[in-house]
A and B are shown apart, each in its own frame.
Chain A
Amino acid sequence: MALAIELTGITKRFPGVIANDDINLAVEAGEIHAICGENGAGKSTLMKILYGMQPADEGVMKVNGEIVDFTSPSEAIDAGIGMVHQHFMLAGQLSVLENVILGAEPTKSANRIDRAVATKHLAEVGEAYGLTIDPDDLVETLEVGERQRVEIIKVLYRGAKILILDEPTAVLVPQEVDELFRNMRELKADGATILFIDHKLEEVLEIADTITVLRQGKTVATVKPTDVTTADLAELMVGSELPTPATSASTVTDEVALEIRDLTVLDDNGRPSVDNVSLRVHRGEVVGVAGVEGNGQNEMIEAVMGTEPIHAGTIILHNSDITRLSVRARREAGIGYVPQDRHHEGLLLEAPLWENAALGYQTKAPFSRGIWFDSAGTRERTEKIREEFDVRTPDIDVSAHALSGGNQQKLIIGREMASEPELLVAAHPTRGIDVGAQAAVWENIRKARRAGMATLLISADLEELIGLSDTIVVMYKGRLVAVLDPNEIDARALGSYMTGANLALDTTAGDAS
């Protein structure tokens, strides 16, 4: 078969690191080709080079047999390549249609966008690939799975025949992943070539025709999914065996660390996004909140953190009412926070790592003494985080945006865990983290849990929810609709609870613990 993409000797250097080191990659036309590798292995960098976002320092790229040298994404788009990024790039305030045509507006006269033509074209694209979405919806109001579909449609709309998807499943729940894979197979049947990055190895084996593994910027193997197991893949990625998830004895105490009482949060339209929720998390307990994105989990943790106003209810941390406290006071009372979107709420992307390591803790030692910021103490702590949480970076003076996605996440986890919180509020703590590092983060949370840390966990990764939680509650349309024992449920069953399908089965709805 003909090669859709052929990369030879691609090399890309950044200050202090070689992101891509003499990489060779051959992708056949019409296949689904997975790229695997640890955090910082150079996957996103390679894809950005192929998409014309960054120039390679060395190497030759061929697309459909012809040598290309893209200096911008628009040239890649002209050559039929489209990319959906690890961190979405949509404008929330615009409609689906506007987002899709942004930068590729069909024009009637000089500057006017021809909406009619665009709508028609969008419908055609959607139909051809079985991707449907209302063009007039505001992107802001969409769930993650839908946003991703918008990103894909946006790419197809520009006539892409070669699709690059950077960690498309990281933000999806299993049902949405199935949907995405269905779409991918359909695209493939229509002759598209798909390159995608994924840290979940079962998924890779399920969907890929060919798998290329990168390690420290080099291609280490290209394999067929039928010839390998997930353990083999992990070994290729990290050069050692996949750690088996440790089962651990319960450390739940009867001391309540966090209590949420009758919490109601209203959205902008005055409708409840969290509807009269009560919940308890004990010292040494992990309570996992399952739910399809957009069912109130985020609003609930924002209420616990105090970043968004609540309508009614009480939040109690270790017997003291914190409902009226500021975010800072809550932080100082010992709440750690891993926000759901690391770029939005987690990091100062333009600031160096050591400044990022202080964020949220700047009023406490070792980051400050009284009113004085302590640079030396901060740097020392940052080095410690870097070491303990394996944040791969040349040094702690680089800015956060220079880290790979997974390493940014590790930095955030490290920052929060290093402060030894009483309560950890974590949304998707291992999103985008490779299998090896994921096991390490889990182990870290378990260790802290043994020492008495209470955890309120949200995750789209159901294996993570089941593997880490002592109790799972399901949130649906703003309410707690089920309390489940993680030992007695699997991902599939949990998935159906989340979509509301198993509602009738449950009787304890509304009151957890």
Chain B
Amino acid sequence: MTDDSLRRRIFMTLAAPVGAVLLSVVFSAIVLLIAGANPFAAYADMFEHAAKLETQVSMINRATPLYISGVAAAIGFRMNLFNIGVEGQYLLAAIFAAFVGGAVALPGVFHIGLILLVAMFVGGMWAGVAGLLYTQRGINEVISTIMLNGVALGLVAALVKEWQAKGDIAIVKVGTEPIADSGIIPNLTFIPELFGDIRNDLTGVLVIAIVVGISYHVLINRTVFGYDLRASGANPFAARAGGIPPKRMVMTAMLMSGAVGGLVGMAEIMDKGRYNPNFVGYLGFNGIAVTLLGRNHPAGIALGALLWAFLEASSNILQVTNTAPKEIADIMKGVILLSTVIGYEVVRRIRVREEAARTAARLAEVA
């Protein structure tokens, strides 16, 4: 591929999401004007805030679980399997992992490993329930995972009480027993330090997110299993005739999606050292949005997660500066999501037309 066509391809790939972001900027500006706020001041605040190193560190901290959640959803999406249940899977996984982590004392690697394994196991099993319902009873996974979300939330609420830390009144009612230091993934403080900031902690779970992303890429694009997964998504009947067992694929994809989903809550667990009753929510649903933005692509999902984190950081700062209602960040999220989906389709059409025109030109030269 020539440099030029490579540049074109990159441009075309980014055209839709970038266009969507610009559109949302314009649209939100109009909304702000109507609401009587000054959009320039609001945007200036947002960027000023985001330009700070400490905001950037916290954006990455926020993007890390979102990214893992996005990859979890993407595994299912690749075969047209809509696992809407990452929400329930990660919450349930988080409380189990925290409980087990708080109950044992092991040397560092094993302790951390155990916590991660429990999280993946619980997330996988919970998603596996939806997989079983699908393969054994033909129940649509969208419906079952949504229902399982409800069940998981209830279960978690009950378990929080059940597994409440005992002892000192100060730590009772604030969650599970604290996990000993050996079970905590250390923060990557050295990275912000490189840039001159020593106050902020960069989550060590970032490493896990990166491993998850690379594994996802290798799995989908380099293995026979990944081929089977994509083929099942593209045409389940042809896949079956091609020897790909449809039920086993659904089950495996669900288990994997759930296992990755189980890791979504790890950043928070490692940060707080326990599962507390106001554990961070909605990471599952936001993960789906991030995946849509990133088109199931490992790098795309990362960009999506960072954008989401930026908008959330903006919403926080607007609350402080009061230049605009913080809801503007949510409006922007919605507009971005909608217009990206439309944008991808538009770009696809333009691409086909342009390619045809180029071919014609090339042929005309020859003739």
A372 to B222 Cα, complex, angstroms? 6
**A360: B residues at CB distance < 8 A:** 241-243
A339 to B240 Cα, complex, angstroms? 11
- Which one of A291-299, A313-321, A341-349 contacts B? A341-349
Most chain B beta-carbon neighbours within 10 Å: one of A14, A17, A327, A332 = A327
The contact string, 1 if C-beta is below 8 Å from chain B, for chain A 295-306, is 000000000010
**A326: B residues at CB distance < 8 A:** 243, 245
**A362: B residues at CB distance < 8 A:** 224, 227-228, 231, 242-243
Closest to B219 in A: A371
Task: Flag whether A434 is at the interface (Cβ < 8 A).
Answer: no
Those of A322-354 within 8 Å (CB) of chain B: 326-332, 337, 339, 344-351
The contact string, 1 if C-beta is below 8 Å from chain A, for chain B 168-185, is 000000000000000000
**Contact pick for B241, options A17, A305, A332, A372, CB 8 Å:** A305
Q: Would B224 and A355 count as touching, CB distance under 8 A?
A: no
**Contact pick for A371, options B224, B230, B241, B243, CB 8 Å:** B224
Closest to A337 in B: B241
**B230: A residues at CB distance < 8 A:** 351, 355
Known contacts A371-B223, A372-B224; A348 and B241 CB within 8 A of each other: no
Q: Would A15 and B359 count as touching, CB distance under 8 A?
A: yes
**B222: A residues at CB distance < 8 A:** 372-373
A345 to B222 Cα, complex, angstroms? 24
**A329: B residues at CB distance < 8 A:** 243
**A368: B residues at CB distance < 8 A:** 224, 227
A216 to B235 Cα, complex, angstroms? 31
A339 to B243 Cα, complex, angstroms? 13
**Contact pick for A13, options B226, B228, B237, B356, CB 8 Å:** B356
Main secondary structure of the interface of A (DSSP, over half): mixed
**B231: A residues at CB distance < 8 A:** 348, 351, 355, 359, 362
B245: min CB distance to chain A, Å: 6
Known contacts A13-B356, A15-B356, A327-B245; A373 and B238 CB within 8 A of each other: no
A392: min CB distance to chain B, Å: 15
**Contact pick for B225, options A331, A332, A339, A371, CB 8 Å:** A371
Q: Would A331 and B235 count as touching, CB distance under 8 A?
A: no
Task: Flag whether A508 is at the interface (Cβ < 8 A).
Answer: no
Q: Would B244 and A373 count as touching, CB distance under 8 A?
A: no
Task: Flag whether B234 is at the interface (Cβ < 8 A).
Answer: yes
A327 to B357 Cα, complex, angstroms? 44
Q: Would A358 and B360 count as touching, CB distance under 8 A?
A: no
Task: Flag whether B363 is at the interface (Cβ < 8 A).
Answer: yes
Closest to B358 in A: A15
**Contact pick for B223, options A15, A57, A327, A373, CB 8 Å:** A373
Task: Flag whether B365 is at the interface (Cβ < 8 A).
Answer: no
Q: Would A348 and B235 count as touching, CB distance under 8 A?
A: yes
**B239: A residues at CB distance < 8 A:** 348, 359
Those of A233-273 within 8 Å (CB) of chain B: none
B160: min CB distance to chain A, Å: 41
**B235: A residues at CB distance < 8 A:** 347-349
Task: Flag whether A363 is at the interface (Cβ < 8 A).
Answer: yes
**B4: A residues at CB distance < 8 A:** none
Q: Would A359 and B225 count as touching, CB distance under 8 A?
A: no
**B225: A residues at CB distance < 8 A:** 371
Closest to A415 in B: B242
Closest to A356 in B: B238
A372 to B235 Cα, complex, angstroms? 22
Q: Would A351 and B224 count as touching, CB distance under 8 A?
A: no
Task: Flag whether B355 is at the interface (Cβ < 8 A).
Answer: yes
A451 to B359 Cα, complex, angstroms? 43
Task: Flag whether A307 is at the interface (Cβ < 8 A).
Answer: yes
**Contact pick for B240, options A327, A349, A350, A351, CB 8 Å:** A327
Most chain A beta-carbon neighbours within 10 Å: one of B224, B241, B243 = B243
A16 to B237 Cα, complex, angstroms? 30
Those of B162-217 within 8 Å (CB) of chain A: none
Task: Flag whether B352 is at the interface (Cβ < 8 A).
Answer: yes
**A355: B residues at CB distance < 8 A:** 227, 230-231
**Contact pick for A358, options B227, B356, B357, B363, CB 8 Å:** B227
Known contacts A328-B245, A346-B241; A17 and B359 CB within 8 A of each other: yes
**Contact pick for B234, options A337, A344, A350, CB 8 Å:** A350
A14 to B359 Cα, complex, angstroms? 8
Those of B214-266 within 8 Å (CB) of chain A: 221-228, 230-231, 234-235, 237-245
Q: Would A372 and B223 count as touching, CB distance under 8 A?
A: yes
Q: Would B237 and A344 count as touching, CB distance under 8 A?
A: yes
Task: Flag whether A18 is at the interface (Cβ < 8 A).
Answer: yes
Known contacts A14-B356, A15-B359, A368-B224; A347 and B240 CB within 8 A of each other: no
The contact string, 1 if C-beta is below 8 Å from chain A, for chain B 327-363, is 0000000000000000000000000100111011001
Closest to A328 in B: B243
A362 to B231 Cα, complex, angstroms? 11
Q: Would A359 and B242 count as touching, CB distance under 8 A?
A: yes
A305: min CB distance to chain B, Å: 7
**Contact pick for B224, options A344, A345, A350, A373, CB 8 Å:** A373
Closest to A15 in B: B355
**A348: B residues at CB distance < 8 A:** 231, 234-235, 238-239
**A327: B residues at CB distance < 8 A:** 240-245
A358 to B231 Cα, complex, angstroms? 10
Q: Would B227 and A345 count as touching, CB distance under 8 A?
A: no
A350 to B238 Cα, complex, angstroms? 12
The contact string, 1 if C-beta is below 8 Å from chain A, for chain B 52-83, is 00000000000000000000000000000000
**A345: B residues at CB distance < 8 A:** 237-238, 240-241
A280: min CB distance to chain B, Å: 24
Q: Would A18 and B238 count as touching, CB distance under 8 A?
A: no
A327 to B245 Cα, complex, angstroms? 8
Most chain A beta-carbon neighbours within 10 Å: one of B227, B237, B359 = B227
A359 to B352 Cα, complex, angstroms? 26
A329 to B245 Cα, complex, angstroms? 11
Q: Would A363 and B243 count as touching, CB distance under 8 A?
A: yes
Known contacts A327-B240, A327-B243, A331-B243; A16 and B234 CB within 8 A of each other: no
Closest to B356 in A: A13
B367: min CB distance to chain A, Å: 11
Q: Would A16 and B223 count as touching, CB distance under 8 A?
A: no
Q: Would A307 and B359 count as touching, CB distance under 8 A?
A: no
- Between A and B, 12 residue pairs with Cβ closer than 8 Å are A15-B359, A18-B363, A305-B241, A328-B243, A329-B243, A345-B237, A346-B241, A348-B231, A355-B230, A359-B242, A362-B231, A373-B222
Q: For the A-B complex with A339-B241, A348-B239, A358-B227 known, give 9 more contacts whose Cβ atoms are closer than 8 Å.
A: A57-B360, A327-B241, A345-B237, A345-B238, A346-B241, A347-B235, A348-B234, A359-B242, A362-B243
Please give me the 6 A-B residue pairs with the lowest Cβ-Cβ distance, nearest first. A328-B243, A360-B242, A15-B355, A348-B234, A359-B242, A345-B241
